[in-house]
Amino acid sequence: MNSADTHTTLTDKQINILYFLRWHYNKEGEMPSFKTVMRHFGFASTNAVTTHYQRLISKGVLRKNLEGHGSNRYELIEPTDGEEGIKIES
């Protein structure tokens, strides 16, 4: 999905998860585990993490890397030049 063609709108929770994923990746050099995300956001199970990841994938800001393992199976998608990026839902 190209955000120049369609605007990606994220909820506040999705923005917070995305920022946490970026922060953790920049700090540790890898994506956080599902349990790390679950604990950080107070989710009851890793199923909630999976649901949020699926929504972020559908909005074009996260993708699956089938060659990765565990949490490193997911990659952040950064906007490229000329793309508008994400919009926060109010």
Please check the confidence at residue 78 and state whether its pLDDT lies above 80: no
Q: Any residues with CB less than 8 A from the CB of 75 and at least 6 apart, and which? A: 31, 62, 63, 64, 65, 68
Residues paired with residue 76 on neighbouring β-strands, in sequence order: 62
Are the CB atoms for 22 and 62 separated by under 8 Å? no
pLDDT of residue 5: 35
**Residue 40 pLDDT exceeds 50:** yes
What secondary structure does DSSP assign to 54-76, as a single string?
HHHHHTTSEEE-TTS-GGGGEEE
Mean pLDDT of 69-86: 64
Q: Is the pLDDT of residue 35 over 50?
A: yes
Stated pTM of the model? 0.76
Segment 67-87 mean pLDDT: 64
Q: What is the CATH number of domain 8-78?
A: 1.10.10.10
Taking residues 28-36, what's their average pLDDT?
93
